[in-house]
Chain A
């Protein structure tokens, strides 16, 4: 469903956001995309969804070449961006109907699909409101509706559950898993929540400084380390939960990267996730997956 080779993006001004990504995602898989702030997750997703042109590398998405046939890619995918895409002033129901129709649906079909999608996400009662009159979590669920309404075969989710309450998160996980089980939907989602990665994803890909530094099933990545967070610390030298947290005195980053990484002005305030934090570098290193370069 996704196959990339040497995918890279250097922004104007020389920021090497993504250095080289080789990625394979099979049909029907739910793959979690992990990495600290500024690792290159969003940039990778924006390339895979045709929004950014890669500066190097190739990718085939849902059977279409990313660079030569972006239109073919767009027809098959859905994308929920990190920042969302609900406008402030138009009633969300109208926006989502337009969105559906741009995939070629007729008026009646679009209305039916929109109604079904909103129903399943528990949003029907809110559809008449403009986006500006919704809560953050409600908007986030509408973002998901935009990504799903045309029944894509591949769904990209960039931190879909950030800002959702525990119940909405659980609902969303159930929803995504059901779509995979029943319709064979393939999902590629980034997240900072280790419990989300652990429960939802079949496989995880960890990225840091624009390259893949580890991949495997959650169990494989955990290895001897016990929790995903330990494994993550071992791999990236940083805790996923909060940038800089790993720099706690007495717990020098056990990972391969001594440098603090690219600066980022968007420190995510991520609430606690995952299990206990045994921040022992030695133990973490024992998780030793495909460590680093």
Chain B
């Protein structure tokens, strides 16, 4: 059976489920707004909104994607997952459909965050904003696929605390809050070794209207490699019998 069709069907099903969870969307939108309103003005004294908003996007995206595996544990417990596994649908379709559905929440959050950013003083060109959004979404989908797969094979009680702890240093080192150009040399050096730094800087370039830069190229490459690798590993884990 057609994997793309199956992925679309499962995605649509999950989108409907996500859109019904109004509280999740409302609070998901509220969170970045709080950062904009209460942290933005502070940041604006040393930097620009074009630097801040990409950082907030990355932060929202990374945390949501990292923790997106929490939901699949419920599907596993209720037997829904096992029921779907007996159908001829491809494992990749079952995993990706779920991930794409839940990524919609993050996309909605991101769009609203950017719109609010404009109200606060963000002045970024639309093509750059769309490109940055696309980059972040791709990364989010990859990470969420990995998160979903890992959640199935990990102790469910340990999953959320471990993952949210693991995401913190990655977000801090990416320079999402404060650009790494302000960091001491050793911290800057470590940060260059982490993948998200490159993605965040690429999005900042895109928001600044600089499209043809090495920074953008590096960010796109890192995102693409990371997304493909995460989906591949995620599918492998997900396809294992005990997952």
Specify which chain A residues have a CB less than 8 angstroms from the CB of B241 in the assembled complex: 51-53
Complex CA gap A77/B88 in Å reads 10
Q: Do A94 and B13 touch (CB < 8 A)? A: yes
* A134–chain B nearest beta-carbon distance, Å: 12
Complex CA gap A230/B111 in Å reads 69
Specify which chain B residues have a CB less than 8 angstroms from the CB of A87 in the assembled complex: 75, 78, 80
Specify which chain A residues have a CB less than 8 angstroms from the CB of B87 in the assembled complex: 74, 99, 102-103
Is chain A's interface secondary structure helix, strand, loop, or mixed overall?
A: loop
B203 interfacial contact with A, CB 8 Å: no
* A63–chain B nearest beta-carbon distance, Å: 15
Specify which chain B residues have a CB less than 8 angstroms from the CB of A81 in the assembled complex: 79, 82-83
Q: Do A51 and B82 touch (CB < 8 A)? A: yes
Complex CA gap A51/B81 in Å reads 11
Specify which chain B residues have a CB less than 8 angstroms from the CB of A53 in the assembled complex: 241
Specify which chain A residues have a CB less than 8 angstroms from the CB of B79 in the assembled complex: 81, 83-86
A3 interfacial contact with B, CB 8 Å: no
Specify which chain A residues have a CB less than 8 angstroms from the CB of B22 in the assembled complex: none
Specify which chain A residues have a CB less than 8 angstroms from the CB of B13 in the assembled complex: 90, 94-95, 98
Q: How large is the interface on A (under 10, 10 to 19, 20 to 34, 35 or more residues)?
A: 20 to 34
Complex CA gap A287/B86 in Å reads 38
Q: Do B86 and A79 touch (CB < 8 A)? A: yes
Complex CA gap A79/B74 in Å reads 20
Is chain B's interface secondary structure helix, strand, loop, or mixed overall?
A: helix
Within 8 A of B (CB), among A73-93: 74-75, 77-79, 81, 83-90
Q: Do B86 and A74 touch (CB < 8 A)? A: yes
B44 interfacial contact with A, CB 8 Å: no
Complex CA gap A242/B1 in Å reads 44
Complex CA gap A198/B10 in Å reads 41
Minimal Cβ-Cβ distance residue in B for A100: B87
Specify which chain A residues have a CB less than 8 angstroms from the CB of B85 in the assembled complex: 50-51
* A176–chain B nearest beta-carbon distance, Å: 18
Q: Do A88 and B78 touch (CB < 8 A)? A: yes
Complex CA gap A88/B204 in Å reads 41
Q: Do B84 and A102 touch (CB < 8 A)? A: yes
Task: Report if A98-B82 is in contact (Cβ < 8 Å); known contacts: A90-B17, A103-B88.
Answer: no
Most buried by A among B74, B85, B86, B87: B86
* A74–chain B nearest beta-carbon distance, Å: 5
A171 interfacial contact with B, CB 8 Å: no
B9 interfacial contact with A, CB 8 Å: yes
Minimal Cβ-Cβ distance residue in B for A49: B86
* B80–chain A nearest beta-carbon distance, Å: 4
Q: Do A99 and B88 touch (CB < 8 A)? A: no
* A117–chain B nearest beta-carbon distance, Å: 15
Specify which chain B residues have a CB less than 8 angstroms from the CB of A77 in the assembled complex: 86
Other than A81-B79, A89-B21, give 5 A-B pairs with Cβ distance below 8 A: A50-B85, A50-B86, A85-B80, A85-B83, A95-B80
Residues of B that sit less than 8 Å from A by CB: 1, 6, 9-10, 13, 16-17, 20-21, 74-75, 78-80, 82-89, 241-242
13 A–B pairs (Cβ distance < 8 Å), ordered by A = A50-B85, A79-B86, A81-B83, A85-B80, A88-B78, A94-B16, A98-B9, A98-B10, A99-B83, A99-B87, A103-B1, A103-B87, A131-B78
Q: Which 10 A-B pairs have the closest CB atoms?
A: A85-B83, A85-B79, A102-B87, A102-B89, A87-B80, A74-B88, A79-B86, A98-B13, A83-B79, A75-B88
